[in-house]
Amino acid sequence: MGGPIGPPTPAALERSAVTTHAVVLGGGLAGMLAAAVLARHVDAVTVVDRDKLPDGPEFRKGVPQARHAHLLMSGGARVIERLLPGVTDRLLAEGAHRIGVPEQVVWLTAYGWQHRFPQTQFIISAGRPMLDWVVRDEVLRRHPHVATMPSTEALGPLGDANRIAGVRVRGAGTGETVDLEADLVVDATGRGSQLKRWLSALGLPPVEQDTVDAGIAYATRIFRAPEGARAFPLVNVLADHRVPRPGRNASLAPIEDGRWIVTLSGTRGAEPPTDEDGFAEFARSMRDPLIADLIAVAEPLTAVQGSRSSANRRLYYERLPAWPEGLVALGDAVAAFNPVYGHGMSVAAHSAAALDEGLAEAGLTAGATGRIQRAVGARADDAWLLAASQDLCYPNCRAEVNDPRLSPGVQAQRRSFSDLIGATALRDPAVSAAATKVTTLSEPISSLESPQVVTALRRAKGRPALSAPPLSDDERAVLRVGEPA
């Protein structure tokens, strides 16, 4: 059993001289962004993570999803840039791609091929290990009062239902438990967060939870892009959720070092295989075979990796009748989404911004963390609604939800409006720009009901529908690599 001693970190050594200390549980994206925020509001920050935190773009066990494509939407990327000015340039210098949307995306949506209008938003495409490492490195380099405690597992909170006073941790190597005292504890331990159980052990009532599980499974393989195709557009071939059969999606994204990351996914009943031949066949079974044709001319660099933890799951911490002082949860620990929509990291960024705003407004005064938790819940709402309402369309989707907006009647109305937006966006630049703002989490869903968008919908003239992928001649030539001249 551990005693009430401070963390054995540089921050701890200065503890006697400081007045406020925050502990962040989890050094993933949400945790490191939270640390960047906290560095501005408290005197010392300790980030605890179960893993060794590598000094480079390496895969680690605690973020298993990092083997799959990770697209950072402009709505989240702008927030990360605000928290860590210059980080986008560093990501690009390390080999990330900035993809203009919709211009640099070859995109078969549910409604057809999207015209490649001039870009209005962007996506950062990079291997997740690199993205995490750059953010972690930038936070630690800029903020000497942020220290990490790697190979250390969070076991549970100290304190009571009224106030969290720290956290008990255990070193992986030593097995020794230590109590870290803190004025603020941030749970950013991801999908596997135990916070719900920890709070119940403190005597708080059960936390309300909604789950929408379309049974999405992922299969990913990394390829070397053919010569001349290193900056190929992002390619997305998506399911048509209006057809009552399991959905199949495929995406090919350029990442660092001239590689393509190809991720296939399917809802329950259409799970992609994880053997090499099955992977190629599944890619060919999409609504369009473009990605199968592209990987046929690329060199495989890895085996196929599978994954299944991808249900939409939302915990409504903000609805507890009383929230303990000194505690905030964010990132996947609060709301995790079907990754096909590419929103989890951006929601983590928006949640970190909510933490920043809340602390700037009220510091750690009474009631502040409760208000921050409500703001964190609100920042997850659009991504939740977009993902959950679409996934409910797939057969065999398992849902346990109380969200009234997902009841069949309201859902039908919502879907018909979003189908109208989606179908018009393909061919009309103004509607496409409005829709893209929402799908990149740059503007709220409610912005689609603005008079400007309604007028644009009415006036939409539209270009002719595309019957084939909108590739330039140079892009099309990539498909002929290896053919005799």
Ligand X SMILES: Cc1cc2nc3c(=O)[nH]c(=O)nc-3n(C[C@H](O)[C@H](O)[C@H](O)COP(=O)(O)OP(=O)(O)OC[C@H]3O[C@@H](n4cnc5c(N)ncnc54)[C@H](O)[C@@H]3O)c2cc1C
CA angle 260, 263, 264 (to 5 degrees): 140
d(CA 465, CA 450) in angstroms, rounded, equals 26
- The window from 12-20, 28-36, 401-409, 454-462 that contacts ligand X (CB under 6 A) reads 28-36
Nearer to ligand X, 119 or 251 (CB): 251
> In Å, how far from its chain's centre is CA 161?
30
The alpha-carbon radius of gyration of the chain (Å, integer) is 23
Name the one range near ligand X by CB under 6 A: 58-66, 230-238, 315-323, 371-379.
58-66
The answer to whether residues 263 and 219 touch, using CB atoms and an 8 Å cutoff, is: yes
Of 51 and 357, nearer to ligand X (C-beta) is 51
Q: Is the CB of 33 or the CB of 430 nearer to ligand X?
A: 33
Identify which of residues 314 and 343 has a Cβ nearer to ligand X in the complex: 343
145 scored as a contact of ligand X (CB under 6 A): no
Total residues contacting ligand X by CB under 6 A comes to 39
- β-bridge mates for residue 321, sequence order: none
DSSP 405-435: GGSHHHHHHHHHHHHHHHHHHTT-HHHHHHH
Among positions 12, 24, 25, 456, the unique one binding ligand X when judged by CB under 6 A: 25
Nearer to ligand X, 216 or 292 (CB): 216
Q: Which of positions 323-342 make contact with ligand X (CB under 6 A)?
A: 331-333, 339, 342
The DSSP-derived string for 311-357 is -EEEE-GGGSSS--BTEEE-GGGTEE--GGG--HHHHHHHHHHHHHH
CA neighbours closer than 13 Å in the CB half-sphere of residue 200: 7
Binding residue for ligand X (CB under 6 A) from 43, 51, 94, 381?
Answer: 51
Place of tokens 């007045």: 19
- Return the number of the residue (49 or 403) whose C-beta is nearest ligand X: 49
Contact range with ligand X by CB under 6 A, out of 13-21, 84-92, 184-192, 202-210:
184-192
Q: Which of 37, 44, 50, 121 binds ligand X (CB under 6 A)?
A: 50
Q: Which token pair is 293? A: 């044709």
Closest CB 188 distance from ligand X, rounded Å? 5
Residue 127 DSSP one-character state: -
Q: Which of 157, 344, 358, 469 lies at the binding interface for ligand X (CB under 6 A)?
A: 344
332 or 382: whose CB is closer to ligand X?
A: 332
| Cβ closest to ligand X, residue 188 vs residue 435 | 188
Nearer to ligand X, 331 or 370 (CB): 331
φ, ψ of residue 354 to 5 degrees: the values are -65, -40
Q: Six-digit token pair at 419?
A: 């189908």
Asked if 87 contacts 132 with a C-beta cutoff of 8 angstroms, the reply is no
Shortest reach from residue 325's CB to ligand X, in Å: 22
Kindly identify the residues of this chain, within the stretch 61-120, that bind ligand X according to CB under 6 A. 62-63, 65, 68-72
> According to CB under 6 A, which one of 26, 102, 247, 254 is a site residue for ligand X?
26
Which one among 192, 205, 363, 367 touches ligand X, defined by CB under 6 A?
192
**Is the CB of 29 or the CB of 445 nearer to ligand X?**
29
Kindly tell me the sign of the dihedral angle through the C-alpha atoms of 389, 394, 399, 402.
positive
CB of 335 to ligand X, least distance (A): 9
**Residue 34 C-beta: closest distance to ligand X, Å:** 9
Closest approach of Cβ 112 to ligand X, in Å?
Answer: 23
Please give the structure tokens belonging to residue 185.
């504890």
Helix (H, G, I), strand (E, B) or coil at 395: coil
Shortest distance, position 479 Cβ to ligand X, whole Å:
25
DSSP state letters, 213-267:
E---EEEEEEEEPPTT-TTPPEEEE---TTSSS--EEEEEEEETTTEEEEEEEE-
Q: Which residues bind ligand X (CB under 6 A)?
A: 25-31, 48-51, 62-63, 65, 68-72, 153-154, 188-190, 192, 218, 307, 309-310, 331-333, 339, 342-346, 348
